[in-house]
Amino acid sequence: MKSIGKNTTIVGTDIAEVKRLNAQSGLSYNEVKQLLAEKYGMNKQQKE
């Protein structure tokens, strides 16, 4: 991703704003997988 200005991409996306919104968006995919595995006991060691 090329930057035009200090905090914007070449198409004008505000990088700081995107990072701020991502931080507020909730759990990541991997965090959800981990929580489900912990809650329902679905890890690789228990399948053996």
Chain Cα centroid distance, residue 16 = 15
Query: Beta-carbon neighbour count of residue 13 at 10 Å?
Result: 13
Assessment of whether the complete model's pTM goes beyond 0.75: no
In this predicted model, what pLDDT tens digit does every residue of 9-37 receive, in sequence order? Answer: 999 999 999 999 988 999 999 999 999 99
DSSP 3: B
Work out the pLDDT band at 4, boundaries 50, 70, 90: low
